[in-house]
Structure 1
Amino acid sequence: MACDNAICVWIWEHYTLIIRLWGILTVVATWAIGIDQCSSLKPWVGAYLVFVAVVLTFLEGAFLIGSCLDKCCNLNSCCGKFWSGLKWFDNWKRGVLYILLSVAVYIVPGIAYIAAIMLDILALMYIARSVKGRDPKPVASTRKEEFHDVVAVDESHAKSARGTGSYDDDTDPAGDAGISRYP
């Protein structure tokens, strides 16, 4: 996403922090509204919101122990497989789950709408985060020209190496910039 505005640039530079803070606010609000609704005339809404709050707490709090799990868990262990699955379940997948979790709250009007709206905003932020890093696909003609340029460079490099009668690529200044494959 290209933006020239200084505020837009700042937001995209700090987008992960913004999502984390909004996620924590959403977790706190969902817990508070869920507990409040448990003691009201609609306890099933409160029970559902507490369930959603538990899921949110787990998913949004996972980043707190993420660096430890990356270093401590072997990828072939049960912990490592679970953690890699949880890391896979990020961005748009998490956004879709959050939208699905918020749908049931809209059935009964009340204060629970606040938690549902916050959850929907968080979902949209995750979906936008998955779109943020994508580059437009290169045009086929550009890729073909790049391929021909690489082939031409490789052929000229091979001709220059054959011309000297040496197999050592270090003699070609246009080759590997002095990097030797020999110790």
Structure 2
Amino acid sequence: MAKRQTESVALSKFGVLVAQLESIVASALQQPPDPLLCFDLLSALVASIEEESQEAIVQWQRKCEDALYSLLVLGARRPIRRLASSALVRVIAKGDVISIYSRASTLQGWLADCKRSEPLSCAGVAQCLGELYTYFGRRITSGLTETANIVTKLLKFHEDFVRQDALRMLESALEGSGPGMLQQDA
């Protein structure tokens, strides 16, 4: 019985969708991801997170997080960024929540090192970090100062959408960290 249960987790719909997302990301160097395909895949992924057991989510969580992160770093457009950010939040919330610390740190590190030639990537990673702050802000408040420094850097971009996503990220970080966080830091 235990073997059959393991096989069903390994062959879950969520796992298949994660594998498809990994394939899209892996082939992105040869061919940019098709936006409609990504949108459909991410929509199905978000829906499957709600339907799957925590066991199935945890088994595929790290691969899913890595593929979503890679998709954002590739420079996905706004609807794809929104879905990827939503999927990341949902997979962490339903799976192993402890990964929030390493994932937030990875996103902050990437933003701290980003270059001005990567505006779509910066906007996507900033949007995703903002979503993480919205849902897990109290857990990751130690990164609030670093986030404020990153926002200062992103505000120097010429593209309005990067500056807007940077300010939204800061707003989400402050709101997600809870009332009184500004007073504590002062």
The TM-score normalised by the length of structure 2 is 0.28
The TM-score normalised by the length of structure 1 is 0.29
Looking at CA atoms only, which structure, 1 or 2, has the larger radius of gyration? 1
